[in-house]
Amino acid sequence: MRIFYRALRKMASALTEVSSNKVFGGLQKVFSHESKELGCKMRFAIFLPAQSEEKKLPIIYWLSGLECTELNCVQKSGIQRYAAEHDVIIVCPDTSPRGLNLPGEKDSWDFGEGAGFYVNATEKPWSDNYRMYSYVTSELINVINSNFPVIEGKQSIMGHSMGGHGALICALKNPGLYKSVSAFAPICNPSKAPWGIKALTGYLGPHETGSWAQWDATELAKSYNGAPIELFIDQGSDDKFLDQLLPNNLVAACKEAHVPAILKMREGYDHSYFYIATFIGEHVSYHAKHLNE
């Protein structure tokens, strides 16, 4: 066991350990690294169950929402308990590049820093750094696979709100990359919602450019023809942001395109981590089933 972790530390020389805490028999760690894709230092949280000391494990990526960092999920959801039960690794990246000092990056809470929207920006000044889609689907996966005891190819993705949007588009744009996908209160049709319109305009330019559909889960579902994958959408009925999230639009698009989709409406629940913590165990179990098939 000690030999294994000495080797792991040597492999991880490009990573800087920020913190480490024991929880549910495993280790909740945070690392930083220099991201080539984003041109800045990035952080991610990773939960390593006790079994990761003995063998390689499958992995679930969690994408967080607006204003969040790599810490929100691991500090508020209780996800480690269920990850330890199912022997899966959890990775939570930050939600945008940080510290770039770009004009306007801190002017509002729903655009810029903390609000990368998991797209590859094409508009200046964002296009050089705001490439969260490529970071999540390529660079981060390579970093994790190279430095931690994961079973390559055994990965799933999930997220919340803006991160739910991110999880859905990452899965729909990359058939076969993820074994399963789920989302809590995702922004399902950003082309039709104020948050999404603001972000897509700022990062990609006007709607007339025709690029928005490539970053909208509802539009992607309409034309999806890749490896079969089920979309698991979880939504609280008392979510004050329902007019921004539009889950019924995505479900209708999936039905028309014959893409399997589950929409679970949770009576009386809102948009918060109290809601997420209530049902996170069900989601981890769902992904573990697909990862172990």
Instruction: Tell me the catalytic residues.
Output: 161, 239, 271
- Are 201 and 251 a contacting pair, CB within 8 Å? no
- Rounded distance between C-alpha atoms, residue 181 and residue 290, angstroms: 10
Which sign does the torsion angle of CA 53, 55, 56, 59 carry?
negative
Distances (CA, A) of 208 to 115, 191, 201, 214: 23, 12, 10, 13
Q: Largest alpha-carbon pair distance within the chain?
A: 57
**278: closest CA among 134, 121, 77, 90?**
77
Q: Which amino acid is at 71?
A: L
- Give Cβ neighbours of residue 200 (< 8 Å, ≥ 6 apart): 117, 119, 190, 191, 207, 212, 215, 216
- CA–CA gap between residue 209 and residue 72 (Å, rounded): 35
Judged by DSSP in three states, 289 sits in helix
Q: What are phi and psi of 165, to 5 degrees?
A: -55, -45
What single letter denotes the amino acid at residue 11? M
